[in-house]
Structure 1
C-alpha cells in the first residue's frame, strides 16, 4: 500500500494535470492545500506560537505601576505583563481577578513568591523580574525578548557598581564633558542611612559635585537622564546630606525596592523623595539605557 506522503504527491500531480487541461494552472501551494487532508488521513496539527514577553517593558511596568494612584497601565507593557500574570496564575500564585496587564503590588507580591520558590532570597526575591526567573516562568508559556543584563560587578572610585551602570556613567561623562566621581556606589546595604536603602542593590550611585557650578550640576544631571538614569541634584535643604547628584539606573534588574520606587516616581513626574514633590530636575525625554543605545 502506498504511504500517505506518496498518495498526496500522486494526487497533487493529478489535480495539477486536470487544472492545466481545463485552462487553470494551480500553484504548488494551491495543489498542496487541496490535498492537505486526504480521506483516512488526519489533518496536520497547527503550530501554536507562544506569546512574546518583552522583558524591558515588563521590568519597567514593575517599577512604575505600583507607584500609580490608579490602575493606568504602562504603555507598551500590557501584553507582556498579561502573559507573565497568566503564568503566575497557572502556578496558583495570582488570583484571576489580578490578571489584567497591570503590574501592581499584588502582581509584585506574586512574582516575589515565585522567586522564593526558585530559592531566591532578599533583594533577589523582591518581585522585580530578572532574566533567570522570567526564563523559568516562561517555560512552555511564553518566549522572552529584549532581555536585560547588568553584567559583572566592578570598582569605580573605590565603590562597587555593575557593568551596565559603569557604561551608563561613561556615556554621561562623554555627553556632559565632565568627569563623574562617585561619593557612594551600589550594593551597599547598611551604608549611608540618609539613602533610605536605595543603594542596597545595583544601579544606584551618588555623584560628587564639589567645585561644580549650579549650571554644571544641572548639565551632569541632564546627561545622566539622557542615558537612562532617574537623576536629581540633591541639596542640603532637602535632607541631612551635602550637595550631590543621586542617580538610579532605570530597569536595572538589581534595583532595591526603594530604588524601584524612585524610578517609578521619576516616570510620574516626581522628585523621588519621601515628600513626593514635583520633579525639579532638567527636562529630557525619559528612556532606558537600552532605548538610548538603540537610537545612538
Structure 2
C-alpha cells in the first residue's frame, strides 16, 4: 500500500542502439547470472553496482543535481557507456543518476530484449555486466535471487532473508498483508508492490511501542519502512516497507526508497520522515557486514 507519486521523467529522445551481446535476447529478469564480473580486459575499470543502485534510487528524487556520496565516479562510467551506445546525451555524463540516466538505462535494457520490470532503468547484474563488456568490471553485485514464499506471499530471496532477520531481532512473527510482484493486487498501492522488495505487514495486536520496534528493526536490516495510519490515506494501519537497493523495484517503490534516503515519508505529500531514526542507513549487504 501507500504509493508514492513517481518522479517526473526526462526522456532523451534518442532511440536505443542495438546491443551486440552474448546474453540471450529475452525478457527474463535482469538480475540472475552466476558471476558478478564483467568480461573484458584484465585492467578494466571497476563499477560498484551497490553504489550505482544507491544513486539510481536517490538522484531522481533530488530537487537539484547533488551527487550521491561515493557513487558519482561509478555512475559516470555507466553514463559514458550509455552515451557510447547512443541512448544518453553527452551532457548528462555527470555522475548524477537523474531521470535522463534512468530513462537511458531503461532504453539500454530494452535493447538487450528486456521488458517490464527488467527494463525499469535500475541496473541489474545482467545488464550492467553487458554494458561494461570491455570497459569495466562489476563489483559489489546485488542479487535479489529467485522468487519464494513467506506467509503465503511472494518475495525474492533477498527480501525474505531481510524479513526473517527483522523477525529474529523483534521476536515477532510477521503477518503479511501484501508481498512483492503483485501487480493490481491492491489499487491503493498504485504500483508500489508491482516489483520486488515491497511488503505490507498487519499490525493488529501490536502495541504502539512494538510497531515502532518492528519499523526500527526493518530499517536496521535495510528496508525503507514506515508505520502507516488511516489518517495518511485510504488504508488501515499497517507497516509498509521497501528493500533498499533491490534492482527489481517498481518505479513508485524506487521513488519511496529515494525519499527515505532524503529524510522524507515516502508519500505524495513529501513530508518529513515520521519513523524512528536509524543511522547510518544501510542496505541488507551493509547490515550483513556489521554482523
Same fold (TM over 0.5): yes
Shift of 1:97: 0.8
For 1:294, the equivalent position in structure 2 comes to 289
d(CA) in 2 for partners of 1:233, 1:108: 29
d(CA) in 2 for partners of 1:183, 1:48: 48
Match of 1:147 among 141, 145, 149: 141
For 1:192, the equivalent position in structure 2 comes to 186
Give 1:74-85 correspondences, 5 Å limit. Answer: 74-85=68-79
TM-score, normalised by the number of residues in structure 1: 0.83
d(CA) in 2 for partners of 1:185, 1:126: 19
For 2:100, the equivalent position in structure 1 comes to 106
d(CA) in 1 for partners of 2:197, 2:120: 15
For 2:119, the equivalent position in structure 1 comes to 125
Match of 1:64 among 27, 49, 58: 58
For 2:129, the equivalent position in structure 1 comes to 135
For 1:178, the equivalent position in structure 2 comes to 172
The alignment covers a number of residue pairs equal to 250
d(CA) in 2 for partners of 1:161, 1:57: 23
Shift of 1:137: 0.4
d(CA) in 2 for partners of 1:159, 1:221: 19
Shift of 1:122: 1.3
Shift of 1:48: 7.9
The structure that is helix-richer by fraction is 1
Over the aligned positions, Cα root-mean-square deviation in angstroms equals 1.0
TM-score, normalised by the number of residues in structure 2: 0.85
d(CA) in 2 for partners of 1:195, 1:273: 11
d(CA) in 2 for partners of 1:173, 1:103: 34
Shift of 1:136: 0.3
d(CA) in 1 for partners of 2:42, 2:220: 40
Is residue 263 from structure 1 mapped to residue 257 from structure 2 by the alignment? yes
d(CA) in 1 for partners of 2:107, 2:182: 24
Is residue 275 from structure 1 mapped to residue 261 from structure 2 by the alignment? no
For 2:17, the equivalent position in structure 1 comes to none
SS of alignment partner, residue 154 of structure 1:
strand
SS of alignment partner, residue 201 of structure 2:
strand
- Give unpaired runs (5+ residues) of structure 1: 1-46
d(CA) in 1 for partners of 2:114, 2:234: 34
Shift of 1:49: 2.4
Is residue 216 from structure 1 mapped to residue 210 from structure 2 by the alignment? yes
d(CA) in 1 for partners of 2:68, 2:284: 18
d(CA) in 2 for partners of 1:264, 1:204: 14
For 1:3, the equivalent position in structure 2 comes to none
Is residue 201 from structure 1 mapped to residue 195 from structure 2 by the alignment? yes
Query: Could you say which structure has the larger radius of gyration?
Result: 1
Greater RCO, 1 or 2 (C-alpha within 8 Å, sep 6+):
2
Divergent runs of 4+, >3 A: none
Is the alpha carbon distance of 1:48 and 1:254 closer, same or farther for their aligned partners in structure 2, counting shifts above 3 Å? closer
Alpha-carbon displacement from aligned partner over 1:48-71 (angstroms, at most 9, x marks no partner):
822210000001100100000000
d(CA) in 1 for partners of 2:123, 2:75: 11
